[in-house]
Structure 1
Amino acid sequence: MVSSPSRRAFTLVELLVVIAIIGVLVGLLLPAIQQAREAARRSQCASNMRQLGFALHNYIEAFNVLPPSSVVTYQGGAPVFGGWSIHARLMPYLDGVQHYDRINFDHSYDHASNTTASAVLIGLFGCPSDPKSSQKTTHFGVELGGVNYGWTMGDWYVFGGVNPSTMLSQKPRSAFFPNSSVRLAGMIDGSSKTMVAGEVLMQQKYNRDCGGLSSVTDPASIPTTNADPSTIGEYSSGCTLKTSGHTEWVDGHVHQTGMTTAWPPNFVTVDGSDNDVDLSGSREKDGEPTFAGVNARSYHPGGVHVLLGDGAVKFVGDSIDGTVWRGIGTIAGNEITNGF
């Protein structure tokens, strides 16, 4: 009788070694896969910003000026806010004519005639690295789509107001502000050295309606680039905390479709409740002078994408010097921006 050969199986030790090796390989591969995915998302994000740059230059070609961030007038002793954003004004140049045609600019974005247009989630306005970029929000029963790209609307001083008793005559130092008509030639610092937009986060917390001009009245008086927001007079008390920043692509307020260079990218601004918040002392719709710290932020490791006046997109690190960051946010400040 011929005996059958014995069959050798894995021992427990060998099986554990194999499992351990597989675990190590997976541990090595996962970060690489995540980095590859983030690289793809980052590339898509930069592409979105380039498209916004093309649209902006097409708008300039048509109107000879940059679009205003919003329109605010003073009629019958009260401000009237025509709040349509730059994003909305650029829609015809973003293959969005069908959306633009739905907008009734004679009424606000939450008017019954505009709820269809306002509810559209524009893919180009969202960065794929932001997990909330595909989410809509609801404001007073109106569904709205958000943005991950905010237009540069000031360093700290955003708007001089329209109320004759409090209005400040000095214009903001940025490319965009209410009622503006800035020409491309007005970028005295050079379009390649002037930032016109930067990344922001959807559903960002922000404090607003903080007492307006109770302490801050001078456009030339700007907090230091590492200032503690809790020490800044305008925000010392009375603010209302909101969680809906950058959730309304149709709204021209700085906390919705803008950003400021008050602090560097991803700078953590903590208020008394330990919230990382943006700050808007008074809203442009109130017709009063507005000072704000609406930070550029992103989920990309180490920095944010910015759009320059010549249409180029650049990645700026969180470690950029605060004075340089403010310098590239102005159009005619003659700042030294070496290292940018």
Structure 2
Amino acid sequence: MVTKLRPMRRGFTLIELLVVIAIIAILVALLLPAVQQVREAARKAQCQDHLHNLGIAVMDYEVSFKVVPPAQIRGWTGTVEGGNGFGWGAMLLPYIEQKPLYDQLNFETGAFMGTNKTAIEAVSGIDLALCPSDGNRPATRNIHATGNPHYMASIPATSYFASTGAFWHWSDNPNPRLANGVFVIDPANKVSIAAITDGTSNTIAIGERHYDVWTGGSFLGVQHNTMTPYGGNDAASNQDWYLGMGVIAPNFGGTTTLTSPGNPDNTGFSSPHAGGVQFVFMDGKVGFISENVDHPRSIQATWASIGAGCMWAAGECDDAGYQDKNILSTRMGVYQRLHSRNDGLPVRPGT
């Protein structure tokens, strides 16, 4: 009788197993960045869509009221300032499917007082005001005016700032001609589409503001002590911001850290996206502006505390009568010109 021998089953050797594991690890390492890039591209696209919708809301507001939303409405009770005001985002509420909240607000008093505080604190956040890529941004933030705990409130946060112009957002001091953006803090100087003489497609309306850069963002309002362009505010403290300007280059100082609370970097625009910042223009289109955009560094180097974009004390901007010199053509790069509504200059210098 002949016995047939069965072939021996051969398993994986240890070396072969290690090779397979190594190959799998390499494939995962190669695929993971690609997956992350796809996810970030989706988040960036959603952020772009949010900016577009905010831009459309600004346009709808202008159609209704014949002016762009004010940068801020300060609350007044008789002749006494309420201590905090409503920001541009509050004006857009009816146009971003938030009319029930808008109808509850009393714009004759402070944004974070009485029934206003109750209505705002009932909101868990406004999705349209947040960029999905801005991962550390909370949906709401606790804020208060320094020394005024009475104004403590939990408010919707934002990843977006409105542009006040190339340099400054006050239109009455120190020089009204420098308040050349779409959103200015002065009820007497409302901006209409007709006032955007540079063209809506060449004028920035709203841009991204990364949460980790020294200042937190507020979509609906601001305390009294942060109605000036910058101060001792940071994302970790209970204070907020809602406006930005073009005097600071995109992502200037980095996207995660800054050196001091008094640094004017906290009035610039920034984003978690690599290489630049997304903006919506006054025609509703969204564009990505590189952090390497033409931007005269002398503006940053000679920043003055009053925000003119050059050294007033050194006589670079004005004479004794506070009449500004012709600084636009010599100091404004492409980036500043895009933030200005009425400089009358070509977007690209020399053209």
Is the structural similarity TM-score above 0.5? Answer: yes
1:317 aligns with 2:321: no
Consecutive unaligned residues of structure 2, counting only runs of 5 or more, are: 145-151, 217-223, 296-332
After the TM superposition, which residues 33-182 of structure 1 pair with which residues of structure 2 at under 5 Å, given as runs?
33-72=35-74, 83-119=85-121, 120=123, 121-140=125-144, 141-160=152-171, 169-170=176-177, 172-178=179-185, 179=187, 180-182=189-191
Is residue 2:249 matched to residue 1:257? no
**C-alpha distance after superposition, 1:79-112 (max 9, x if no partner):** 6666111111011011111121222222222213
Q: Classify 1:276/1:45 alpha carbon distance in 2 versus 1 (closer, same or farther; 3 Å).
A: farther
Residues 1:189 and 2:198 aligned together: yes
Q: Which amino acid aligns with 1:298?
A: S
Q: Secondary structure at the match of 1:256?
A: coil
SS at match of 1:71: strand
Query: Structure 1-normalised TM-score?
Result: 0.75
Report if the CA contact (8 A) 1:206-1:278 is conserved: no
Query: What is the total number of aligned residue pairs between the two structures?
Result: 291
- Deviation string, structure 1 residues 129-161 (Cα, Å, up to 9, x no partner): 001234422124421111111110132322155
Please say which of residues 106-115 and 30-39 is displaced more in the overlay: 106-115
Alignment of 1:219-234 (within 5 A): none
In the TM superposition, residue 204 of structure 1 has moved relative to its aligned partner by 3.6
Provide the secondary structure at the position in 1 that maps to 2:20: helix
SS of equivalent to 2:277: strand
| Pairing 1:247-286 to 2, within 5 Å after superposition | 256-268=241-253, 275=259, 279=263
Inter-CA distance 145–26: structure 2 relative to 1 (3 Å threshold): same
* Amino acid corresponding to residue 146 of structure 1 in structure 2: A
Q: Which moved more, 1:255-264 or 1:317-326?
A: 255-264
CA distance in 1, matches of 2:293, 2:101: 38
Indicate the SS of the match to 1:243: coil
CA offset at residue 264 of structure 1?
A: 1.2
Give the 3 Å change call, closer, same or farther, for CA 244–91 of structure 1 in structure 2. Answer: farther
Letter in 2 for 1:145: P
One-letter code aligned to 1:265: P
Deviation of 1:78 after TM superposition, in Å, equals: 7.1
Cα distance change, pair 123–28 in 1 and its aligned pair in 2 (3 A): same
Q: Which of the numbers 313, 320, 344 marks the counterpart of 1:334?
A: 344
Summarize the Cα distance change of 1:315–1:276 in structure 2 as closer, same or farther, 3 Å threshold: farther
TM-score with structure 2 setting the length: 0.73
Look up the match of 2:28: 26
Higher relative contact order (CA 8 A, sep 6+): 1
Counterpart for residue 327 of structure 2: none
**CA RMSD, aligned part only?**
3.3
- Shift in CA distance, 27/268, structure 1 to aligned 2, threshold 3 Å: same
5+ long unaligned stretches in structure 1? 213-233, 249-254, 281-291
Give the aligned partner of residue 147 of structure 2. none
Kept in 1, the 8 Å contact 2:161–2:207? The answer is yes
Larger Rg, first or second structure (1 or 2)? 2
User: In the alignment, which residue of structure 2 is the partner of 1:215?
Assistant: none
Report how far residue 277 of structure 1 moved. Answer: 5.5
Instruction: Check conservation: 2:232, 2:261, Cα contact below 8 A.
Output: no
